[in-house]
Structure 1
Amino acid sequence: MQTTSSHEVRFNLPSIEVAAKVWGDPDGLPVIGLHGWLDNAATFDLIAPRLQGVHLVALDLPGHGLSGHLPAGGYSLWQQAATVLQVAESLGWERFALLGHSMGAIISGILSGTLPERVIGAGLIDGLLPFTSEADDAPKQMARFFEASLALSSKRKPVYRSMEQAVSARVMGGTTPLSREAAGILVERGLMSDHGGWTWRTDPQLMLPSPLRFTSRHALTFIEAIRSPVSLVLANQGVMHKHPQVLERIERFEHIVVHRIDGGHHLHLESQAPEVATILDSFFQGLA
């Protein structure tokens, strides 16, 4: 029986400490949860208690939530994926399933395509293919990264008088629409005290442009290489509804089961959470 409460764990990896929230029976299906960009492990707070028969270890990926930060230039999709594998090794999990939202779903796709013998299956929420650019764009993309990196030292994190002010900032300043209730769940884990107020724990480096992106062919190759089951919950008003060419590509992946639900990018933290959880619960029970 899945417990409704969670507990905290820490993983002392070779180069960083990674924090996580854990739900469920240790004898259940091993699942590693991966949140979206600038979010944290609390992203699964509403759906985790509804997943039966799983042992969910939801990470704060490096630079997010309660986890440590990496040295300059340390963040990439493949670096984050490598951290997931280090956590799996720490847990003694030779084979495991993945639960990913947004960036976490993209990382899940990379891992599933790269190491199909280790990934039992992946439940994804509104994410699959990363943003891409072609080889000819690489010098300009790298230049944007260098310029932004040099300017980073002169920037200061905002300080909010209260958590409520920080929640308002997240609601108003996010890249995708987010309810106040959903923002509150994420913000609580994403803040630290500072000069009598509150500021973000998030590593400012995460705001930098990627120094290098996959080409579209790279991205597709990882997904085409997946051999384990994949269930993808797509938000009809999520991040991909503005990119019909991406949706068209996803629909052509015959090995991925797609479920479309009305809702925004964080639908698993909104009123649609029970519906999302029901789909994922059925998927993980099938894997078990």
Structure 2
Amino acid sequence: MSVAFEEVRLSLPHIEVAAHLYGPQDGRPVIALHGWLDNAASFSRLAPRLPGLRIVALDLPGHGHSAHRPLGAGYNIWDYVLDVLQVAEQFGWQRFSLLGHSMGAIVAVLLAGALPQRVERLALIDGVIPYTGEADEAPQRLGAALDALLAIDDKRKPVYATFERAVAARMKGVGAVSREAAERLAERGLMPVPGGYTWRTDARLMLPSPLRLTRAHALAFVAQVTCPTTLVLAEQGLMTEPQLRELTAQLPFDKHYLPGGHHLHLDDDAGAAAVAACFEPFFR
């Protein structure tokens, strides 16, 4: 399928981000948010299958062609909420919808719960709430994060001698993907360096979180979502643990269980078509 999009860079008040634009300028405004360590290419199969939408598929800060956060700043999950809001402001969108995969789905739920008046619809793929932690774990978690941050200068991102080796490594990464999906992510996510290729992603994205929301915190955001919401769950995805299945069964969202892995919307055309079949009438 031929994919037509426009590459743009947006100068937000606090950071510069890159994005792919799909669809007509007067289409329903949608901001698409990818998963952890992915990039805007995550939606390269799905976005063209959603006609009538003006989709802004972001490279979230620290990913793809977007800038890294300045030294001293972190990548807490809630920090992305401001990035998304500032993108909406750039386009003059007071009301908009969100399309999120994995981490991007979590960011979408946080934003829709915090500012429900801004979000028209939520379309989520294999993600709802972040990994949570309870109060008694907080001191140890912060300590581990601080130690890791002090040691970050001693770590180097891996360098792959060839593009193909980088693709093979991505296929086996978190949320394993098909070769075609890995190639799409790598084409946008790799950069040449002495000795081969490495990922553009900020190395700080691999650091442990200094603080996690409690389960009660996370569910409070879900409870404040007032817009129509549909959730696609991958039968071989990352939300198959019994506790997560129990959680999702209780969510007040429309749910669709589809065959495929965590990146079912990107792995192949059949998966993208199946996800689009859920979302196209939802947005229409």
TM-score category, normalised to shorter length: over 0.9
The corresponding residue for 1:147 is 147
CA RMSD of aligned residues (A): 1.1
Structure-2 residue corresponding to 1:250: 248
Q: Does 1:267 align with 2:259?
A: no
Unaligned runs of 5+ in 2: none
Q: Which residue of 1 aligns with 2:101?
A: 101
Residue in 2 that maps onto 1:79: 79
- CA distance in 1 between counterparts of 2:263 and 2:220 reads 27
Q: Distance in 1 between matches of 2:91 and 2:206?
A: 30
1:55 aligns with 2:38: no
- Which residue identity does 1:259 align to in structure 2? H
The offset of 1:182, in angstroms, is 0.8
Distance of 1:221 and 1:182 partners within structure 2: 34
With structure 1 as the length reference, what TM-score do the two structures score? 0.95
* Distance in 1 separating the partners of 2:186 and 2:282: 29
Give the conservation status (yes or no) of the 8 Å contact 2:63–2:202: yes
1:214 aligns with 213
Cα distance, 1:246 vs structure 2:
1.8
Helix, strand or coil for the counterpart of 2:22?
strand
Looking at structure 2, the residues matched to 216 and 113 of structure 1 have their Cα atoms a distance apart, in angstroms, of 15
Give a deviation string over 1:162-214, Cα, whole Å, max 9, x none. 21111011113x02221111111111100111115211100000000111100
Partner of 1:90: 90
SS of the residue 2:255 aligns to:
strand
| 1-structure distance, mates of 2:274, 2:244 | 24
For the Cα contact (< 8 Å) 2:8–2:20, is it kept in 1? yes
Q: Which runs of 4+ in 1 moved over 6 A?
A: none
Q: Secondary structure at 1:32's aligned position in 2?
A: strand
Match of 1:36 in 2: 35
**Structure 2 SS opposite 1:108:** helix
Task: Give per-residue Cα distances to partners, 1:70-126, cap 9 Å, x unaligned.
Answer: 023421111111100011001100000000000000000001111111100110000
Unaligned runs of 5+ residues in structure 1 are none
- Count of residues in Structure 1 that have an aligned counterpart in Structure 2: 280
- Counterpart CA distance in 2 for 1:48 and 1:176 is 20
Q: Give the Cα–Cα distance (whole angstroms) in 1 for the partners of residues 183 and 3 of structure 2.
A: 19
CA offset at residue 4 of structure 1? 3.6
1:55-204 aligned within 5 A: 55-71=54-70, 72-172=72-172, 174-204=173-203
The change in CA–CA distance for 1:278 and 1:143 in structure 2 (over 3 A counts) is same
- Taking structure 2 as the reference length, what is the TM-score of the superposition? 0.96
Q: Equivalent residue of 1:247, what SS?
A: helix
- 2:230 matched to 1:231? yes
Q: Deviations over 1:248-284 (max 9, x none)?
A: 1221122x00000111100001231110111111111
Partner SS, residue 154 of structure 2: coil
The residue matched to 1:259 in structure 2 has which SS?
strand
Task: Give a deviation string over 1:45-92, Cα, whole Å, max 9, x none.
Answer: 001111011000000000000000002342111111110001100110
